[in-house]
Structure 1
């Protein structure tokens, strides 16, 4: 993974100049922003790759990777969570949802099952000593995929359950869900279906000049579940691995007519930047009927100092 530009903030055009404010003491109608994660606090050197959902009860769940050794993608990494019951103004204690125990757990992709209200979390794992480049070259095992469930508003989650054989093809090596939350379809013939945008890399062809090197054969795909996350299968798969356009980290949204829109980063492509403070990964979440929240990486000297939550009033835009 490489740092993303500020343009990947889903609501960048609406943001006022960023500030790094502490948790607000006022009620949700008065607070503007809060900081659920600060690098160096809570036992982690860095927090990365935020993802957020709002539960059926209105609780905000802010997931992130808790990286014990620093901001890098390799090492002892847990998936952590903080809950907010006041619209993102204040946050409960940090809890570990999936412990790396020396290995890497990452790319949290949460979604709320619209039929039951259960929070479903899909994530990935690999040995803590393996880098993305080593996995892509076949020098380390391919990433595993897991699912967890919470039926008590995000307070507790089931242990990670391996679903790799259901959603990873044998030729795939690198694998990443998200980044950001997954999608639950709310209309159309597949209403209730859970859709997890993801990406993967493939082994280069045997006659390819890239064999034995970190070949950039990326592609996007989606995981689907029609039973609340109990069973999974592959849906859309980008099989055009031409080494030129490399569909990588992906996100998805349902359009008003029921279709699903996929947006993927072109790994290695050109990136644009805007002015303002550094920022990187972000996620967008509804807070209430008039408010959305942006959970995003930012800082003063660099983008990995904090994960901030910014509330935006969008009532006038509807």
Structure 2
């Protein structure tokens, strides 16, 4: 299908119902737009890792981390940003907010966290995460960095190493996101900033989150959800929690959906709950969700009118069939689903636009495009 056919074609919606209750929702795609096209915009080889967030001002920010010369994770990249002031109908030009120049193992986006109390936006990224030992980059050392905007993304500080806020975080091989973080709006730990991700060291694969209780002055790592077997190379079937999206439920509980890296138990997603403000995700609160068929990939979350939504490729082995699934009981069951795009579909990011609409940013067709969908939930 040509891009022009894709954008101008009829909006086809296919609903997949697993339980009778799913017919209480009938989502409708009302707008589609290509935001980035690989190898055609800005001499970029591949646009990857979309992140979509809504600011308290109502603006939408769309982030991506284009790869300059190759599609590989270990490559030179930069971070781009586009803005919409009208709920996703129109987007301004692409701006570059961070560049790692020509390094062999550059940055990896990352997580976007908004502090609604101080009106501050943070963008986290890992650097030199795929090189064992010391980073050879002449520009910066291995570790996790963040940029700060105090004017809703129009200007940004230079990148700051998290070790500057906490020396214990020097050189960590932790990959944030790639998605959005949260600020807890309810107790416990109201006001806490949280961004989740995973460690990329193969032997010590684990899901872990970063958090701050002082509005970003200092950052700390929470208690890990360790992969098993511990300190050994993992194989198919092992418990290997990977890339993670976090959200706060309406009762203050922290919920995460987790990439099931080595397909532990089934070709499906993992999820967990934290009752201590995201400090720990204990095994008794971990669920293997067989209803969330998944090929091992990042998935995103949104909460709209007390309904929890998940976007991901619904397929056992291949990254195809981008699907929106939903839960009326905070993720215990997932009775409803709608196919959004049947072709190759990869990483995605959801955001609530208002009380009626969700926005979706996702990779499609073998990472050739990053598209925005506006979805009416009714």
TM (norm. structure 2) is 0.65
1: distance between equivalents of 2:122 and 2:35? 21
Residue 247 (structure 1) aligned with residue 313 (structure 2):
no
2: distance between equivalents of 1:140 and 1:110? 24
Per mean C-alpha deviation after superposition, the further-off stretch among 284-293 and 266-275 is 266-275
Return the offset for 1:169. 5.9
Select which of 207, 210, 226 maps to 1:223: 210
2: distance between equivalents of 1:67 and 1:94? 15
**Relative contact order, CA 8 A, sep 6+: which one is greater?**
1
Return the offset for 1:61. 0.5
Report if the CA contact (8 A) 1:55-1:117 is conserved. no
Report if the CA contact (8 A) 1:277-1:298 is conserved. yes
Secondary structure at 2:179's aligned position in 1? coil
Give the match for residue 21 of structure 1: 7
Give the match for residue 107 of structure 1: 109
Unaligned runs of 5+ in 1: 1-18, 23-29, 203-214
Say if 1:107 and 1:167 are closer, same or farther in 2 by CA, change over 3 A.
farther
Say if 1:231 and 1:105 are closer, same or farther in 2 by CA, change over 3 A.
same
Secondary structure at 1:63's aligned position in 2? strand
1:164-196 per-position Cα deviation (integer Å, ceiling 9, x unaligned)? 4738667x8642100111111111131211100
Return the offset for 1:43. 2.9
Return the offset for 1:257. 1.5
2: distance between equivalents of 1:139 and 1:149? 26
Give the match for residue 254 of structure 2: 260
Q: How many residues are matched?
A: 267
Return the offset for 1:239. 3.5
Q: Which runs of 4+ in 1 moved over 3 A?
A: 138-143, 164-170
1: distance between equivalents of 2:192 and 2:127? 24
Report if the CA contact (8 A) 1:114-1:186 is conserved. no
RMSD: 2.4
Per mean C-alpha deviation after superposition, the further-off stretch among 140-149 and 279-288 is 140-149
Say if 1:36 and 1:83 are closer, same or farther in 2 by CA, change over 3 A.
same
Give the match for residue 238 of structure 1: 225
Report if the CA contact (8 A) 2:50-2:370 is conserved. yes
Give the match for residue 368 of structure 2: 305
Say if 1:139 and 1:148 are closer, same or farther in 2 by CA, change over 3 A.
closer
Secondary structure at 2:113's aligned position in 1? strand
Return the offset for 1:227. 2.2
Say if 1:292 and 1:65 are closer, same or farther in 2 by CA, change over 3 A.
same
2: distance between equivalents of 1:193 and 1:105? 26
Give the match for residue 43 of structure 1: 43
Report if the CA contact (8 A) 2:47-2:66 is conserved. yes
2: distance between equivalents of 1:168 and 1:32? 46
Return the offset for 1:143. 4.2
Return the offset for 1:230. 2.3
Secondary structure at 1:21's aligned position in 2? helix
Say if 1:168 and 1:36 are closer, same or farther in 2 by CA, change over 3 A.
farther
Residue 279 (structure 1) aligned with residue 341 (structure 2):
no
Give the match for residue 25 of structure 1: none
Report if the CA contact (8 A) 2:143-2:172 is conserved. no
2: distance between equivalents of 1:198 and 1:143? 17
1:40-99 per-position Cα deviation (integer Å, ceiling 9, x unaligned)? 212312110011111111111101101111321122200111111121122111111111
Return the offset for 1:116. 2.2
Report if the CA contact (8 A) 2:350-2:358 is conserved. yes
TM (norm. structure 1) is 0.77
Return the offset for 1:144. 1.1
Return the offset for 1:293. 0.5
Secondary structure at 1:277's aligned position in 2? strand
Return the offset for 1:102. 1.6
